[in-house]
């Protein structure tokens, strides 16, 4: 089974703090994704990466950056956290070929910015 692990289930941060959300997958997947889920808005793509050191902006990249130094790890960075970044953050990964269509998700990190 594919396992996508997000380092924290719950985080509470202060406005202006730099926040790191970590995600690790164990299936040697090329593609990794960061989403946020908000009530009534569904899942919105923040950033994705299709290879080490490669990244592309998703639909809502403003206020976020990412890092992918190793294939198995994809980090989401909030440079200066704001209250409107309070949300559920979901990491996902997908494999090569036809398997790229199916994304596997971690359990999520619920971030509260006070």
Partner 1 sequence: DQQVKQNSPSLSVQEGRISILNCDYTNSMFDYFLWYKKYPAEGPTFLISISSIKDKNEDGRFTVFLNKSAKHLSLHIVPSQPGDSAVYFCAARESGSNYKLTFGKGTLLTVNP
Which parts of this chain interact with partner 1 (CB under 8 A)? 4, 9, 31, 33, 35, 40-45, 48, 50, 58, 90, 92, 94, 100-108
Which residue lies nearer to partner 1 by CB, 38 or 79?
38
CB of 17 to partner 1, least distance (A): 24
Q: Which residues contact 46 (CB under 8 A, 6 or more apart)?
A: 34, 35, 36, 58, 59, 60, 61, 64, 66, 76
Tokens of 31: 């593609």
Place of tokens 């704001």: 82
Asked whether the CA dihedral 12, 107, 37, 46 is positive or negative, the reply is positive
CB of 16 to partner 1, least distance (A): 28
Which residue lies nearer to partner 1 by CB, 17 or 43?
43
Which residue lies nearer to partner 1 by CB, 72 or 105?
105
């Amino acid at each position: 089974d594919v396992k996508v692990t997000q380092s924290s289930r719950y985080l509470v941060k202060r406005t202006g703090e730099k926040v790191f959300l970590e995600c690790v997958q164990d299936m040697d997947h090329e593609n990794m994704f960061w989403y946020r889920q908000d009530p009534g808005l569904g899942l919105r793509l923040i950033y994705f990466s299709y290879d080490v050191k490669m990244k592309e902006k998703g639909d809502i990249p403003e206020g976020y950056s990412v890092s992918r130094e190793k294939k198995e790890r994809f980090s989401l960075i909030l440079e200066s956290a704001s209250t409107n970044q309070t949300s559920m953050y979901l990491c996902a990964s997908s494999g090569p070929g036809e398997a790229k269509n199916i994304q596997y998700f971690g359990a999520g990190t619920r971030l509260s910015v006070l």
